[in-house]
A and B are shown apart, each in its own frame.
Chain A
Amino acid sequence: MLEVENLTVSFSGRDGRAVAVDGISFSVAAGETFVIIGESGSGKSLTGMAIAGLAPEGARVGGAIRFDGQDVVGLPDARMRRVRGRQIGIVYQDPLGALNPVHTVGDQIAEALRVHGLARGREAMARAVSLLERVRIPDPARVARSYPHQISGGMRQRAVIAMAVACNPKLLIADEPTTALDVTIKAQVLDLLRDLKAELSLTTLLITHDMGVVAEVADRILVMYAGTVVEVGPAASLMDRPAHPYTSVLLASAMMAEAPPQTALTVVPGGTPPLGAMPEGCRFHPRCPRATARCRAEVPVLRGVGGGQAACHHPLVETPEDAL
């Protein structure tokens, strides 16, 4: 239902173009939960925003994004607005900032219905209250009348989710929906997302850098590094047997999440390279324990490895060809 083909997102800066998302391709099937993971700055959010037609000002989006068979890249905003919020619901990370402080929670949910002409006036408000109920908010009528600062963080995130699913969208893009929440709330929100997915037969594109979240909900996983796809595959096999060294490092750091931060650093030393100074060859090679001369010279392409695909010259899992 969603096909992304050779998507690039670039910015024209003072010193030439900076390519933040560099020709990535993937597809999401109806009903599946597709997760994009990667370090901060790897281009996850840009990818999500590009799909929703909300790439930041000054960004140039290239390639193709086919949603329900229609290419939304370059679609005029007036047309895209009929899709956004209606067919595609979006949930963001910071639930306090994501809500307008000067409008009531109910108003903001009702607005989603009103703007797409699904309900008007009192009816919209009534449906906002039932949506709040649907996302398991106790005393929904009161919360609907409250301002964002008057309710807890978990409730705010539920309200944001209620807003995103208000119009029964086909696709839900959730960009780090749990990052700002504490552990118990995080679990509840994940539960909610899972339940909603079932109830509303949602297709979910989940963006996160939290491996814990991934394990619970993912059907398939896409790993991004420095604007490129380094590995993509079914959740189970990718997590059990990561093929790309970066994926394995991510997983290791997730397992050591309880450990002091220094330990995590030693597992993945360094960080995402700056946009203007991408290394030659494999972008991960300066940080990769398996890097060779070939890695420094030749850009690895995605190819079938294990259950999925990985872009690595020296994958951790045998390629199907190797196995032959």
Chain B
Amino acid sequence: MAGFIGRRILWGALVLLLVAVITFFLSRVVPADPAAFLAGQNASEETVARIRAEHGLDQPMLLQFRDYATGLVQGDLGESIRTRRPVAQDMAQFLPATLELLLVSFAAYLVLSLSLAILAVRRPGGAMDGAVRLFTMLGTGIPVFWLGMALQFVFYYKLQWFPLGARFPIREIAPPEVTGFLLVDCLIAGNPGAFVSALQYIALPALTVVLNLLAVGTRMSRAALLAERERLYVRTARGKGLSPRQVLFGHMLRNALSPILTVTTIQFGYLLSWVILVEVIFDWPGIGLYAFQSFQVFDYSPVIALALVSTFGFVVLNLLADLLYPVIDPRVEAVTS
């Protein structure tokens, strides 16, 4: 078990290194000069050269990478040219907002895809099944950025049901920052009104992320549940006098969870990318928006950091998933030993 985790961590570290190398050199082949941006318009050539030297941008690429990698090992993600602060500091600041959106979206994704699958699977081929399929297909068919803008247009602009672009009502005082997770901070502050406000703000961005993933998620969950329905233990459970609901929640769901987990792990990658995109659409102050704005001015370090953090998240998620399989299904303990 420990050996398995150790191997996986080593493997994860390797992947991270690879991502670091690739993103670093990719960012360096872009023929643009961040020093010129940093110096500002109208700056003299000397100023630009001086800034280039200050940031080591005049060094040969391999040397630059050595310096970057050395820093990376010590937890130094470099410096952002745009915000003029250490990237690690910026990431620490923006990460909670992203994580909050990610976790809320993820929870919504799980709940929605499972609920819809359960609805659909009641009568396969029935009207509800069709309706669920149509709804989820629509969500997937519409590109995320478009969907985000459409939701915003309808629910903010037209109906005024949901607020726009922020995490909290702008003119109000947000609860003191403790965890950086606004929803949690609202609860810590003992302010349910603020909590509801924060939920309203996260609703549209999260929905945008989730709607796109719902079709695949629901279809997979539906298929998994449908397969479970045919299994003999379902008949046994019914034979004991369990209601269909008890059979579903007490027996089928847990069995269906393994295939659902597999799909979910894959979906999580998309989830992550959509969260980043959605942050840009909704001005959600997370690491995605941070990296995007940096990217626009050729500020490389935040972009590389984003790639590293996402990869790290993905590696951790996969490890978690592998550790979860045997918990869900006692038959697969062999994998980890």
| A→B interface (CB under 8 Å) | 52, 54, 77-78, 81-86, 89-90, 92, 94, 97-103, 108, 111-112, 115-116, 147, 149, 160, 163-164
Query: Chain B residues with Cβ under 8 A from A85's Cβ?
Result: 239-242
Q: Least Cβ distance of A12 to chain B in Å? A: 14
Partner of A94, one of B232, B241, B330: B232
The answer to whether A102 and B255 have CB atoms under 8 Å apart is yes
| B195-247 interface (Cβ within 8 A of A) | 231-233, 235-244, 246
| A82 vs B238: C-alpha distance when bound (angstroms) | 11
The answer to whether A100 and B255 have CB atoms under 8 Å apart is yes
Partner of B233, one of A98, A112, A116: A98
Query: Chain B residues with Cβ under 8 A from A98's Cβ?
Result: 232-233, 235-236
| B222-278 interface (Cβ within 8 A of A) | 231-233, 235-244, 246, 250-251, 254-255
Partner of A101, one of B233, B237, B238: B233
Query: Chain B residues with Cβ under 8 A from A78's Cβ?
Result: 243
Query: Chain A residues with Cβ under 8 A from B329's Cβ?
Result: 101-102
The answer to whether B233 and A115 have CB atoms under 8 Å apart is no
Which residue in chain A gives the minimum CB-CB distance to B253? A102
**Can you list 25 A-B pairs with a CB-CB distance of less than 8 A?**
A54-B238, A54-B239, A84-B241, A86-B241, A89-B239, A90-B236, A92-B232, A92-B239, A94-B232, A98-B235, A99-B233, A100-B233, A101-B330, A102-B254, A102-B330, A103-B254, A111-B237, A111-B250, A112-B241, A115-B240, A115-B246, A116-B241, A147-B331, A149-B330, A163-B240
The answer to whether B239 and A52 have CB atoms under 8 Å apart is yes
The answer to whether A84 and B251 have CB atoms under 8 Å apart is no
Instruction: Taking A81-B241, A101-B330, A111-B242 as given, write out 12 further A-B residue pairs in contact, using a Cβ cutoff of 8 Å, ordered by the A residue number.
Output: A54-B235, A85-B241, A92-B239, A97-B232, A100-B236, A102-B255, A102-B330, A103-B251, A112-B240, A115-B240, A115-B241, A149-B331
Query: Chain A residues with Cβ under 8 A from B241's Cβ?
Result: 81-86, 112, 115-116
B137 within 8 A of A: no
Query: Chain A residues with Cβ under 8 A from B239's Cβ?
Result: 52, 54, 84-85, 89-90, 92, 164
| A112 vs B237: C-alpha distance when bound (angstroms) | 8
B323 within 8 A of A: no
Query: Chain B residues with Cβ under 8 A from A149's Cβ?
Result: 330-331
Per CB-CB distance, the 7 closest pairs between chain A and chain B, nearest first, are A85-B241, A97-B232, A90-B239, A85-B240, A100-B233, A112-B240, A147-B330
Which residue in chain B gives the minimum CB-CB distance to A85? B241
Query: Chain B residues with Cβ under 8 A from A108's Cβ?
Result: 236
Q: Least Cβ distance of B244 to chain A in Å? A: 8
B328 within 8 A of A: yes
Which residue in chain B gives the minimum CB-CB distance to A146? B330
Query: Chain B residues with Cβ under 8 A from A86's Cβ?
Result: 241
Q: Least Cβ distance of A83 to chain B in Å? A: 8
Known: A94-B232, A147-B331, A149-B331. A100 touches B243 (CB 8 A): no
Q: Least Cβ distance of A51 to chain B in Å? A: 11
Which residue in chain A gives the minimum CB-CB distance to B247? A100
Known: A81-B241, A101-B255, A115-B241. A92 touches B330 (CB 8 A): no
The answer to whether A115 and B242 have CB atoms under 8 Å apart is yes
Which applies to chain B's interface (DSSP): helix, strand, loop or mixed? helix
| A102 vs B328: C-alpha distance when bound (angstroms) | 7
The answer to whether B243 and A77 have CB atoms under 8 Å apart is yes
The answer to whether A111 and B240 have CB atoms under 8 Å apart is yes
| A86 vs B242: C-alpha distance when bound (angstroms) | 11
| A7 vs B139: C-alpha distance when bound (angstroms) | 48
Partner of B236, one of A77, A99, A116: A99
Which residue in chain A gives the minimum CB-CB distance to B250? A111
Most chain A Cβ neighbours within 10 Å, of B231, B233, B329: B233
The answer to whether B243 and A81 have CB atoms under 8 Å apart is yes
Which residue in chain B gives the minimum CB-CB distance to A88? B239
The answer to whether A101 and B246 have CB atoms under 8 Å apart is no
| B30-69 interface (Cβ within 8 A of A) | none
Query: Chain A residues with Cβ under 8 A from B251's Cβ?
Result: 100, 103
Known: A101-B255, A149-B331. A160 touches B236 (CB 8 A): yes
| A149 vs B328: C-alpha distance when bound (angstroms) | 14
| A172 vs B240: C-alpha distance when bound (angstroms) | 12
Most chain A Cβ neighbours within 10 Å, of B231, B239, B330: B239
| A111 vs B254: C-alpha distance when bound (angstroms) | 16
| A137 vs B191: C-alpha distance when bound (angstroms) | 58
Which residue in chain B gives the minimum CB-CB distance to A90? B239
| A86 vs B239: C-alpha distance when bound (angstroms) | 9
| A188 vs B238: C-alpha distance when bound (angstroms) | 27
Which residue in chain A gives the minimum CB-CB distance to B328? A102
Q: Least Cβ distance of A108 to chain B in Å? A: 8
The answer to whether B237 and A100 have CB atoms under 8 Å apart is yes
Query: Chain B residues with Cβ under 8 A from A82's Cβ?
Result: 241
Query: Chain B residues with Cβ under 8 A from A164's Cβ?
Result: 239
Which residue in chain A gives the minimum CB-CB distance to B124? A57
Q: Least Cβ distance of B228 to chain A in Å? A: 10
Query: Chain A residues with Cβ under 8 A from B255's Cβ?
Result: 100-102
Most chain B Cβ neighbours within 10 Å, of A77, A83, A89, A115: A115
Most chain A Cβ neighbours within 10 Å, of B235, B240, B251, B329: B240
| A108 vs B251: C-alpha distance when bound (angstroms) | 10
Q: Least Cβ distance of B252 to chain A in Å? A: 9
| A92 vs B233: C-alpha distance when bound (angstroms) | 10
